Amino acid sequence: MKKPSQSTKRGPVEVVESNGVKIPIYRANAFGKSGYMLAYYADGKRIRERASTIEEARKTAKAKIKTLTSGAAHVGTLTPRQTAVVADAVEVLKGVGVPLSTVAREYAEAQKILDGRGSIVIAVQHYVDFLANQKGERNVPFPRVVSEFLEEIESLGRSARYIEDCSSRLSRPRKAFKTPVESIKAADISAWLTSIKVKGRTRNNYCAMLRTVFAFAKDKGYLPEGARTEAEKVKTATEPGGEIGIYTPQQFRTLLEATSPEFLPLVAIGGFAGLRTAEIHRLDWKDVNLSTGHIIIGARIAKTAARRIVPIVPALKEWLANIAKSSGPVVPQYSHDSVLLRASKAAMTNPDLLFVRNGLRHSFVSYRVAAVQNVAQVAMEAGNSPRIITENYRALVAPAQAEEWFSIRPLSA
């Protein structure tokens, strides 16, 4: 029980409280006489009672609280049906430990929050499910997530090239983010991408790899289930449109003729069959069958780990005829595809050659589509989807140019 207040404010001088019910006592002077007044609610109405002394006010307040909590103040106003409903509600709440009045207040507040968007039971179940999804391990450092991700894709038998690409692309963020994966925000990732000055497709490649790792973390229970990861929230770059870079038939001939025999398969297969540099780097001569006219791209070779068969056009067969072997690597082996490309360029006999980034693959797709007039077929041969072929690889060329491209033969042939 609070002591009488000496404050001159108009608030209560004392509050009597018991069983969760509070009755305030105020000073109430009238007709030159000092006194007190207590106020409380009963039957939905505010009731005021006067008392001449503070002791009388306290005694009256305690009695009213006892009456209110026993329910006697309400019985007279309830119909038999209402009384039965209240009795049933009290019975239901046995063992819960929450007063009926509290239940009513919280129910009303919950209904306001829901605003007609479902039932309270459904909302509670959703919350329980949410809590259940938070039971995974927390505070897992990002470098550990990367290590586990690389171990998993290796155990799943993903291609060596895919594992190498993932490991290479994750090396920089692995060093940059040492905190738990759940603490890394989209703003952090964006700031890091800006700091390493990557743009266009390179930025998007990093975004795609981080999304894959964050999705892995979610599957492992390191991130909340049922919500977008922070990596998914990072905006990707708009890649420049317009025509892509390709070689003209004359430039391709010059390139072929300036290439030394050891690197000739790299240029010829790239331009006439559209294989990626990485695929040619892993290709073995036993996969190149000149007699049947096909190159077998197995799962260990393909970037997407999907097996495919690429036709050997007559021009390619002639360029490979004098250098093909029964087995062994098709091109010299280096530590990385980029090293192979640098070595092949350094061995060119013509130092003034123009080199187009990804020019051989871009050229093959563009000229092949013009030649066969079938994007789906070329997508199968190149190991990509028709959409990717149309959006990223295809330049518009005339059928006559395509015929010229695939008619380039060795001068000694």
Q: Spell out the residues 6+ positions from residue 61 whose beta carbon is closer than 8 angstroms to its own.
A: 16, 23, 25, 38, 40
Could you tell me which residue, 269 or 232, shows the higher pLDDT? 269
Distance CA 374, CA 379 (A): 9
Q: What is the pLDDT of residues 115-125, one digit of tens each?
A: 888 788 888 88
pLDDT at 368: 95
Q: Residue 198 has what DSSP assignment?
A: -
Average pLDDT along the chain: 84
Q: What is the pLDDT of residues 330-370, one digit of tens each?
A: 999 988 888 888 899 988 887 677 788 789 999 999 999 99
Distance CA 250, CA 305 (A): 34
249-405: same fold as 142-233?
Answer: no
pLDDT at 239: 56
318 sits in which H/E element: helix 314-320
- Find residue 329's DSSP bridge partners: 284
User: Which band of pLDDT confidence, cut at 50, 70 and 90, is reported for residue 401?
Assistant: very high
pLDDT at 301 over 90: no
What is the residue-wise DSSP string for 55-114? HHHHHHHHHHHHHHHHTHHHHTT--HHHHHHHHHHHHHTTTT---HHHHHHHHHHHHHHH
pLDDT at 151 over 60: yes
User: Which band of pLDDT confidence, cut at 50, 70 and 90, is reported for residue 8?
Assistant: very low
User: Which band of pLDDT confidence, cut at 50, 70 and 90, is reported for residue 144?
Assistant: very high
Could you tell me which residue, 135 or 107, shows the higher pLDDT? 107
CA 191 to chain centre: 17
Q: What's the first-to-final CA gap in the chain, in angstroms? A: 111
The encoded tokens of residue 347 equal: 């061995």
Secondary structure class of 347 (helix, strand, coil):
coil
Distance CA 147, CA 145 (A): 5
Q: Percentage of the chain surpassing pLDDT 70? A: 88
pLDDT at 111: 86
Mean pLDDT of 134-143: 76
Mean pLDDT of 277-301: 90
Q: Residue 398 has what DSSP assignment?
A: -
pLDDT at 204: 85
Secondary structure class of 208 (helix, strand, coil):
helix
Q: What is the pTM of this model?
A: 0.48
Taking domain 249-405, whether its CATH number is 1.10.443.10 is answered by: yes
User: Which band of pLDDT confidence, cut at 50, 70 and 90, is reported for residue 6?
Assistant: very low
pLDDT at 314 over 90: yes
Edge to edge, the sheet with strand 36-42 lists 14-18, 21-27, 36-42, 45-51
pLDDT at 235 over 50: yes
The encoded tokens of residue 48 equal: 């005021």
pLDDT at 223: 86
Q: Phi, psi at residue 329, to the nearest 5°?
A: -60, 140
Q: Residue 180 has what DSSP assignment?
A: B
Distance CA 87, CA 79 (A): 12
Give the domain 142-233 fold: DNA polymerase; domain 1 (1.10.150)
pLDDT at 5: 44
Domain ranges of the chain: 14-75, 94-132, 142-233, 249-405
371 sits in which H/E element: helix 359-372
The encoded tokens of residue 346 equal: 């350094």
pLDDT at 135: 56
